[in-house]
Amino acid sequence: MDIPFWNREIETLDRASLEKVQLERLRQMVSWALKTPFYGRKLASAGIGSPEDVKSLRDLERIPFTVKDDLRRGFPRGLLAVEMSEVVRIHSSSGTTGIPTVIYFARDDLDRWTDLLARSITATGASSRDILQNMMTYGLFTGGLGLHYGAERVGMTVIPIGGGNTKRQIQTMKDFQTTVLHVTPSYLLHIHSQFENEGVRPGDLAVKRAFIGAEPHSENTRRKIEDLLGIQAFNSYGLSELNGPGVAFECVHRKDMHVWEDAYLIEIIDPKTGQNVEDGQEGEVVLTNLVRRAMPILRYRTRDLAFVHPEPCECGRTHRRLSRILGRTDDMLIINGVNVFPSQIEERIMKVPEVATNYLIHVDKKGALDRLTVKVEIYPKLFLGEAARLEALRARIREELRSSIVISPNVELHEPGSLPVSEGKAKRVVDERPKD
Ligand code: ADP
Ligand code: K
Ligand code: ZN
């Protein structure tokens, strides 16, 4: 197989040289991070007052972890390491408390991030001859714009269609003979389920590849996508704290994702002890961004569970591979690619005066899509009124939730005592999505 490279030299760098690059960049990151009071304190506690105090990559383990709450507490500018006039882009992701996390990019940050995506896209075998339909949400999410820039750098023909509107997605695939899709796995399966309705016949479409990510999925789901659509599907991993997509991406072999190790230091830790584990062992992914100046992030605990492959990939890249994401250490739900925390839901519904004390979050699958239902108990006298009033209440709760969690859940109203109560720790979330 002819293996394509965007930057063969850096992608196949021998381990010792790669580690030299990492150490240089880590020192650079420390010097940038020291510009923020937040990392000033954190690094001081590790005895690091200047970049020279980082003598080897092992010194990384002395630096305390950064967690999502650190980013929230610093909202909005706490971790900004440059003047705002140098910032050319802001992205943001949703949070548990309604306080989002904000990510800042300087021009050179965007340039380096874009290059990682160009590298990722090229590793899949896609090229300037391809037509990309980017179905990820544009806007504050990193998924849409992030990959868009990388695709343009590769020279692909980019259709920035964004998420949703299945009919139009399918028509666009036909009209422009799209060859590559960027999409969440659940949405891609949903789109496929509509092929018949939309009169898609074999030979109508030219899709050969899909980049799938932003939500957990199994190897079986990938196979299903590949078989149903007759394409190759490539797993893509990233998170906004570490720029967004382009942290790790599958190459033509589709045997887990190369982490671009000149740009990110990856550690797998035991989430209980915080200690590093060996390659091959499952644990929490901890990432250090080596390429962002406007907002440095060191040792970020992703709460994603995975392992690093000890053995090299057949493609010749020396950057190690990350397994697919096997779970999360926290209770975050991912509903059709959008992150939702149960606490966000609780916070909103408990503000509604008509709501009694018990509620339940129910998640299942309808066809290929995740379906979120929030069941709430309301006071009994409300059921005596007119049906229209109940309907209005339901709509109000739904809107209240939508404004916080972005997606619009089903809302069910129940009489007090009708939802299950558990003894001990309440089980508020029932997730019936197949784990396959
Ligand atoms: P995005 O805007 O891309 O959804 P977020 O920062 O909001 O980025 O969400 C990042 C989280 O999404 C990750 O920490 C992980 O839990 C999940 N995620 C992203 N890509 C994948 C993937 N390929 N497989 C499983 N989970 C993923
Ligand atoms: K996500
Ligand atoms: Zn490979």
Q: What tens digit of pLDDT does each residue of 349-366 get?
A: 878 889 887 889 999 999
Q: How far is the CA of 334 from the centre of ligand 1 (A)?
A: 8
Nearest to 245 by CA among 202, 184, 294, 318: 184
Q: How far is the CA of 72 from the centre of ligand 2 (A)?
A: 17
Lowest mean pLDDT among 224-233, 277-286, 347-356, 363-372: 347-356
Q: What pLDDT is attached to residue 58? A: 96
Dist. CA 58–CA 73, nearest whole Å: 28
| HEC assignment per residue over 175-232 | HHCCCEEEECHHHHHHHHHCCCCCCCCCCCCCCCEEEEECCCCCHHHHHHHHHHHCCE
- Residue 425 pLDDT: 55
State both tokens at 229.
């659509």
Q: What's the whole-number mean pLDDT along residues 298-318? A: 97
Tell me which ligand sits closest to the C-alpha of residue 143.
Answer: 1
pTM: 0.86
pLDDT band at 186 (very low <50, low <70, confident <90, very high): confident
For residue 416, count other CB atoms closer than 10 A to its CB.
12
- The answer to whether the complex's ipTM is over 0.85 is yes
Please give the distance, rounded to the nearest whole angstrom, from the Cα atom of residue 237 to the centre of ligand 3.
Answer: 15
Distance 305 CA to ligand 1 centre (A): 12
pLDDT at 127: 98
**Ligand 1 atom having least distance to the Cα of 93:** 7
pLDDT at residue 344, as a whole number: 81
Instruction: Judge if the beta carbon of residue 183 lies within 6 A of ligand 1.
Output: no
Report d(CA 112, CA 120) in Å as an integer: 13
Q: What is the pLDDT of residues 380-434, one digit of tens each?
A: 888 887 889 999 999 999 999 998 888 899 999 998 888 887 555 567 899 999 8
Q: What is the pLDDT of residue 96?
A: 45
pLDDT tens-digit series, residues 80-99: 999 999 999 999 886 545 67
409 pocket-lining for ligand 1 (C-beta < 6 Å): no
325 CB less than 6 Å from ligand 1? Answer: yes
Q: What are phi and psi of 52, to 5 degrees?
A: -65, -20
What is the rounded average pLDDT for all residues in the chain? 93
Instruction: Identify the residue with better confidence: 233 or 215.
Output: 233
Q: Which atom of ligand 1 is nearest to the CA of 94?
A: 7
**Ligand 1 in contact with 124 (CB < 6 A)?**
no
Instruction: Read off the pLDDT of residues 2-35 as tens digits, 9 standing for 90 and up.
Output: 779 999 999 999 999 999 999 999 999 999 999 9
Gap from CA of 233 to ligand 3 centroid (Å): 14
Amino acid at 391: E
